[in-house]
Amino acid sequence: MREETAPMDIKDSIVLVTGGNRGIGQAFVRAFLAAGATKVYVGARDPASAAHLVAEAPDRVTALRLDVSDPETISAAAAQCPDVTILVNNAGAFTMQTLMGAPDMSAARQEMEVNYFGPLAMSRAFAPILARAPKSAIVNVLSAGGLVAVPSMGGYSPSKFAARAMTTCLRAELAPQNTHVLALNVGSVDTRMASHVEGFKEAPATIAQAGLKALKREADEVDTDFMAIDVRAHLARDPKGLELAMRRALTSDRVSTGR
């Protein structure tokens, strides 16, 4: 095991953000730039969709083609980004299909592929790169749906449960190389993925700032916003009651959508 080092300084870090072209990923890109990161790689299935971020800081932002469900693009990204010190696994998929209501299992498989196997594949590909830095980190952007099972979310919720467990396992495996692994549990955020959700939604920038603060203090797991904190509290206070509330929400959703 390496000797203990000082806490990682985000200033002068080199960051890769998956799904960094919009939403929470875009907010992370801007937050890292504001915090003094030397370089930020923006991973997106279509690099052209990140052109606006490159234009904001052309000497510090690089867009690259990256699909976390495609091993070839992951390998290419690792070859193109040999200097990364912080990996933010943000890319996600939500198909808005329930487990039993979907016509087949393709939606659930896609959610597991992107939300669980994607971050795992990225972590495996970049762990040797992160090991070169005296201090490095992986940030996994998860969900309150990984704290409590949400039937209306179908395969998304189980995939986030799996990703949360994987984060804990990676934290143990990568500790000897001084790579810290952080879990961020996110509630309702004002992004395209949550466009169907009614009520208050946090700004993506709020999530990014919570992530950077957690990273600086090397927290293991952080609930980033009011909804995630509230879910955690309800889970501790009355887990069965919360389960039943999620069941009622599924029934309500079916009535409102006619499913």
Q: Strand order of the sheet with strand 86-89?
A: 61-65, 39-44, 14-18, 86-89, 136-141, 179-185, 221-223
Residues 6+ apart with CB under 8 A from 128: none
- The rounded distance, in Å, linking the Cα atoms of 149 and 242 is 9
Q: Which two structure tokens, joined as six digits, stand for 156?
A: 């998304």
- The rounded distance, in Å, linking the Cα atoms of 66 and 47 is 8
DSSP character for 38?
S
| Catalytic site residue from 11, 116, 156, 240 | 156
**DSSP strand pairing (221-223 vs 14-18):** unpaired
Q: Which helix (H) or strand (E) holds 212?
A: helix 204-216
Q: Which helix (H) or strand (E) holds 180?
A: strand 179-185
| Catalytic site residue from 160, 201, 216, 240 | 160
Which of 54, 71, 158 lies closest to 116, judged by CA? 158
Is-catalytic flag, 11? no
Is-catalytic flag, 216? no
Which of 36, 15, 10 lies closest to 26, judged by CA? 15
Active-site residue set: 156, 160
